Amino acid sequence: MVLGVLAFAWDWSHERIAAAFAEDHGPGSLDDGELAALKMEGTRTAIAASCVGPSPAVAGDYPDWLDAPMARVFGDRRAEEGAALAQRAPVDLRVNTLKSDRAMVLEALEPIGPEIVDNLPNAIRLPAPDPAIRAQAPETFPAFPLGWFEIQDAGSQMAAVCAGEIVGKQVLDFCAGGGGKTLALAALMQNSGRIFAYDNDARRMKDLIPRAERAGVTILEVRVPMEREPFRGMEGAMDLVFVDAPCTGTGTWRRNPDAKWRLSPQQLERRMVEQDGVLDQAAIFVKPGGRMVYATCSLLAEENEDRVAAFLARTPGFSVRSVPFPQFATSDGYLRLTPLSAGTDGFFAALLVKAE
């Protein structure tokens, strides 16, 4: 399998492969049979011929049982969408406007070729490097410990922007996790107002406070489930509740390709139950006239449109508003991003407004 990848996916010559295998830390010199197979005329053609007419799941590199959910969302494009999720991902950065600007970060990272990202004035992209090259990590540059930027996929940044105008507002990040969107929301708030971060597993937030300190965030208040009343005074008081719901992570397969093969229908069912519960809990804190953003890094309608529709059916007073990225909006006004359509990880976001 390794030989096949090197020869037919990476286009290494058989001489280069043989030299690499024979190195001190290589797996050992190629035997005569392996060399003969690599040199054999027509080997590539034979492999290509054996792959004529694959099913969408095979062409898209995803499990067979996901073909119907993928078809529901993408139709005849599902193989293309799946294949795009199997490509090497770039590294996206969010310029931290509390401490820097895009020009400063572009100059600081100039040695590794940063690029501007369309649709986001504070996003920078480091293109995916050749897999055979060890790329320099952006965290090794002095600008990172100074808090000038955070590593955050452009899709995640766009989901945060769906929050709208929140300067001076009361904001709750209800599933804060590691805090990437918490910090993005704090920057959108311009350090004005107050942002609460909560997660039902406090261990996920262990790095949030040092990250916030590095980023210069001064309006953060962390709430943890071990407190007697973690939400005291917050019911019906939040201008915005951001729900980055637990999900299957199908939109992140570029970064976690093994996850697709561990995913099961039972796990999807469990996530859907969790998503319903999180939406119901989070809605309690939205004030009249306030907003709630429901976001996932999933491609599946079962975790996205279906969950929003079920929530609206059982929760009077909430309605959908269109997201601020019409070029990536669905017919229902939701945000849907994929590597193929937007060059980002897969993301979904719905903006819900509570009646006055």
- Judged by DSSP in three states, 108 sits in helix
Please answer whether residues 45 and 71 qualify as being in contact, where contact means their C-beta atoms are separated by less than 8 angstroms: no
Vertex 329 angle, CA 324 and 334, to 5°: 85
* Distance from C-alpha of 135 to C-alpha of 224, rounded to nearest angstrom: 37
| Alpha carbon separation from 92 to 71, 104, 150, 253, 327 (Å, rounded) | 29, 16, 9, 16, 20
Q: Which of 287, 284, 282, 285 is nearest to 246 (CA)?
A: 282
* Distance from C-alpha of 57 to C-alpha of 267, rounded to nearest angstrom: 19
- Kindly state the DSSP code that residue 205 receives in the 8-state scheme: G
* Distance from C-alpha of 84 to C-alpha of 61, rounded to nearest angstrom: 9
Strand partners, 243: 294
Instruction: Give the rounded distance of the alpha carbon of 104 from its chain centre.
Output: 25
Vertex 173 angle, CA 143 and 262, to 5°: 85
175 is catalytic: no
* Distance from C-alpha of 156 to C-alpha of 140, rounded to nearest angstrom: 23
Please answer whether residues 212 and 180 qualify as being in contact, where contact means their C-beta atoms are separated by less than 8 angstroms: no
Instruction: Give the rounded distance of the alpha carbon of 51 from its chain centre.
Output: 31
- Kindly state the DSSP code that residue 17 receives in the 8-state scheme: H
* Distance from C-alpha of 190 to C-alpha of 168, rounded to nearest angstrom: 8
Strand partners, 286: 238
Which of 162, 175, 247, 297 is catalytic? The answer is 297
* Distance from C-alpha of 188 to C-alpha of 167, rounded to nearest angstrom: 7
* Catalytic site positions: 297
